[in-house]
Amino acid sequence: MGEFHHSIDAKGRLIVPAKFREALNPSFVLTRGMDGCLFGYPQAEWQKLQEKLTALPLTKKSARTFSRMLLSGAAECELDKQGRINLPNNLIQHAALDKECVLIGVSNRIEIWSAARWQQYADDAEDDFDELSENLIDFGL
């Protein structure tokens, strides 16, 4: 959990906050996320997700499309000695990352957002937060 602001350097490297490094070390999987961000999964969590994707019905177009988008964009990333990752170009483009990024911890994954996109998303979500909380009562929250 948490929100951290970091910059991508000229070589496409991004510092991963120390708080996230232990869970992601030595390598993790980075892929396209929803809402225009990137999802980063520790290896164990990625394996669980892959098992669920494999169980999806091949005959459902939405299942095929979701699996294709998530898996085709996936890349294994390793932290260097300074705690940085080298972001793949296709994922930089997907998330419209430029210099300023926001990394957030969300349950079993991290998310990487462009700072501008995250600010817009957070502003919009904050406006709906009370209504969202009422709707989540059905899920036991």
**What DSSP string runs through the chain?**
-EEEEEEB-TTSEEEPPHHHHHHH-SEEEEEE-GGG-EEEEEHHHHHHHHHHHHHS-TT-HHHHHHHHHHHHT-EEEE--TTSEEE--HHHHHHTT--SEEEEEEETTEEEEEEHHHHHHHHHHHHHHHHHHHHHGGGGT-
Q: What pLDDT, on the 0 to 100 scale, is given for residue 40?
A: 96
What are 55-98's pLDDT values in tens digits?
999 999 999 999 999 999 899 999 999 999 999 999 999 999 99
CATH number at residue 81: 3.40.1550.20
Asked whether residue 135 carries a pLDDT value surpassing 80, the answer given is no
Tell me the C-alpha distance between 124 and 141, whole Å.
21
Structural domain boundaries, residue 135: 2-139
Please count the structural domains in the chain.
Answer: 1
- The β-bridge partners of 128 are none
Q: What pLDDT, on the 0 to 100 scale, is given for residue 127?
A: 78
Asked whether residue 41 carries a pLDDT value surpassing 70, the answer given is yes
Q: What pLDDT, on the 0 to 100 scale, is given for residue 84?
A: 94
Sign of CA dihedral 59, 61, 63, 64: positive
